[in-house]
Structure 1
Amino acid sequence: MNISNKNKALIKIFGYLVKDTGKLLLDPYIGNASSIIEGLVINSKNFYDEMNKKKLYELYMGIEQLDDDTEKKFTKANLAFLIKKFMQDDEDNKTHLYSKLAINISKSDIPDEQRIDFISMLNALTVYDINFMKKVYIYDIFDIKGFKNTAEQLLKITESQEGREIKSINKLYANGLIFEPNKGKAAGQYYKPTEYLKKFILMLFDSQELTPDAIGEHGKNKSDIFFMKNSEYMSKKEYYDELVINSLESLGYSLIINTEVYGPYNDKSSIYISIDNDKALTKGENGELFLQLIIKTNEDVFFNRKNISPDRYLLSLDDFNKRKMDNNKDTNEIKKILRSIIEELKNQNY
C-alpha cells in the first residue's frame, strides 16, 4: 500500500525538526549539542558541505521508504540524537541501518535510555563489527553444516586469531552484546549472544537477513527422522515404503531419506532409522515373522551417551502381509508401534 508522506508518523517528526522552531542536535563540530537549523536542505550551506547534505537526504529517504502510518513512540529528542550520531558516523554504508533503527525503535516500547543506548551502539560499531555480530547471532540460532553442534560453531568464530575479529569481539563484549557461558572452565571457551544483542540485532535486520544463507553458510538438513536408504531397503523399496515410510509420514513425522551416511555435520534429526542390513527378517518363538529396524536417537548415534550397541526393534509382519494380500492397506498397528518406539526414545533422559 502506498502511503502519502502526510500519513507517515516518523517523517512528520523529521519534518518538524527541520521546519519548526525546535532545535536539531546535529552539529558535532563546535562542541554544542544544540544548533538551530532551519530549512535543513536549503539553508545548510553555512553548517555542512554538499556531502553532508546528501548524507542527510539519504537518511531521510531511507526513513521515508520504511515509514508507515502506525503509531510511533519516538520523540523529537530521540530522532535528533539519532541524526546527530548518524552525521558523526564516518561509514556511509551504515545509512540504511540508521533508517531501520529509527523505524523499529519508534515502533517499540523499549525505554528511552535503551533507545539512546542502541543509537550509541550503532554509532560505535563499524560495519565489520556489525557483520561479525550478525555471524555470532546466526551461529547461535541455527545449526550450520560442517559443525557438530552449536558450541563447536561458536568456538570456531570466537577463538579467532585474526586481528579485526579480535577487535570486534572486544567491542561486542564491552557493549554487553556477548558473554562467555563457560567462563572459568578449563576448556571450550566461546562467546554467545546476550539477550541484549538479540533485541538490538532485530532492530537492524529483518528475519530473512538473519539466516545462514545471508552470510554464505548453509543450515543443516533438519527433520524428525533420518531414514537410511541402505541396500536392503533398496532391494524391496516399494514394500518398505508402504510398510515404514508411508506409516511414518502419515503419523506426521518429517523425514530425510538418504543413501548417504547420516552425519552430524550435515543433518540434524531427532531419530535415526534403518532396516537392519545384515539381518532384516527374524522369526519369533512361534514362527511369527518380524522386520528388524535399527532405531536410535541423534545423541546415541553421534555422542554414544549410553555406550550400548545399536538398538533393534521388531515390527510384526504377519498381520501386515495378510492385509496386503487382501488388498487392505490399513497400517494402524504398524503406526501404533512406530509411534510408541519413537516417542519413548525422544523422551528419554540422558
Structure 2
Amino acid sequence: MAKTNAGRFFEDYHVGQTLTHAVPRTLSGGERALYHALYPARHALYSSDSFAQGCGLAVAPLDDMIAFHTVFGKTVPDVSLNAVANLGYGEGRWLAPVWPGDTLTAQSEVIGLKQNSNGKTGVVWVRTTGRNQHGADVLTYVRWVMVRKGDLDAAAPETVVPELAQVVAHDTLVIPEGLTFDGYDFALAGEPHRWSDYQIGEQIDHVDGVTVEEAEHMMATRLWQNTAKVHFDTSARPDGSRLIYGGHVISMARALSFNGLANAQMVVGLNAGAHANPCVAGDTVRAWSEVLDKAETSAPGVGAIRLRLVATKGGDPFVLRGADGKYAPDVLLDLDYWALMPI
C-alpha cells in the first residue's frame, strides 16, 4: 500500500469538499528577518515596534504578506501540487494582525469546478481561511487554479463557476483594534505623502528594479513550505526552467512600491489578482501603481486606498494591455488591493 502522496488531480475535487491543510506553522521574528532579507521591504509599521506603538498597536505585527504566503503554502499540497497555473485571486480580507509567536493553520472549501475543453485539465476554485492558535480567522481569500487530470477518462463534473465580488466593499475592511494614525510620524515612515495627497486615476512609477536570482526564489518558496513541483524540479516544465512562485513576485512588487507609497502601511483587502505571464530567474522585476479608489474608515486618522499594483519585467510603465486586450508580454502581475494610509 502506497504511503506517499501524488497530490490531488482535477477529478478528485467536488464542490462543497473541505480540505484541512497540514502543517501548523508558528511564526517568529525569524520569518520577518528572512522576509526583509528576500525583499526590499521597508514599511515602518512592520519594521519597528516603537513605530507600531505610536500607531496604537502593542508591537509591530508581521508583514501582511508573511501571513498570506504562510497560509498559501499550507494549501499547495492539497490544491495546486498538480497545477498547470495559478489563475487568479479575489475576495481577500486580512481579518486580524499576525503577531510573532502566533501559530497559523489553513482550511479550504471547494466552491467551483469547470473542466476545460481539452479534457486534460480543469479549473478549481477554493476559498481558503487561515486561523491562529486561538481559532480566530486572520485571513480569507478565493483563488482559482488550473489542475491536471490524472485519469483522462474521468467524467467531467457539473460546471459550477462561483460569482465573486469584483471589489471587497470598503466598509467590510477590518481595521486592527487600536490602530490610529493621528500621531503618525511621516519623517520616520520615509515619505510625506498622505491619503489626501493621492488622486483617483493617479499613476506612480516606483522607479526601482530587482533582478530575481535562482537561489533566492527557491529559498523563499521553501520558507513558505510551498511544495509545487514547478518551483523546484526542472523536469516539471518543458523548457527546463523553474517557475518563480507568484507570491515572490507579489512581495517583490509590494516592497518596490515603497518608493511612492511608503505610507500605504497595511494591506487589508485583495480585490483581484492575476499572474499575467511567467517569471523566471534572471528577470528584473519593476513595478508601477494606479490609484483606483479611496474611502474613509472609522479609525482615527486612517484612510483606505485602493491600488492597482502592476509588476513587469521591463517595457514602458503604465502599459497593462496590448491592442488585442491581452496583458502585455512584459506584465508579470496585476494586483488590485486595499491598503490603510494616514489621512
Q: Give the TM-score taking structure 1 as reference length.
A: 0.19
Higher relative contact order (CA 8 A, sep 6+): 2
Structure whose residues are more often helix by fraction = 1
Structure whose residues are more often strand by fraction = 2
Q: Give the TM-score taking structure 2 as reference length.
A: 0.19
